[in-house]
Amino acid sequence: MMDPVQWNRKHGYSARVTTFQALGLWRLEFLAALLAVGFLAAIFITLARFNGQDVPNWPVNLNLNSLVAIYATLLRALLLFAIAEVISQEKWYWFDRPRPLRNLEDFDLASRGAFGSVKLLPIAFPS
């Protein structure tokens, strides 16, 4: 049986990862964050464009409030995806040193919602 280091060398993987390679692994998260910024800009542009005007009469059954709500929902979903991935990765950096195992559940809860994130704050940033 081959150890992981030998297996990686045999299959062309180096032990060190360059910054460019590491950023490539996060491409979906970068794309999600970029799209989230785009949807935030779309909300501002849409509201600025129709500020002080009558409600537009669009041919489809969609009004201005619905459009902004769709943008906001997509924005939240994209941010949730990116933040959950970052918190999940931070969990493994956290356990690079010996830590209590109960912190594993705290990080897991933090990657799933706001309550878990608030619960993680005093652990990650002790006073």
| Residue 43 confidence (pLDDT) above 70 | yes
Alpha-carbon span 92 to 115, nearest angstrom: 20
Q: What is the pLDDT of residues 57-106, one digit of tens each?
A: 888 888 899 999 999 999 999 999 999 888 888 888 888 888 888 888 88
Helices (H), the chain: 4-10, 19-25, 27-49, 64-94, 102-110, 114-124
Q: Work out the pLDDT band at 55, boundaries 50, 70, 90.
A: confident
Mean per-residue pLDDT of the chain: 85
SS3 category, 13: coil
Q: Where are the domains of the chain?
A: 22-124
Q: What is the pLDDT of residues 6-18, one digit of tens each?
A: 666 776 666 566 7
Alpha-carbon span 45 to 48, nearest angstrom: 5
pTM (2 d.p.):
0.73
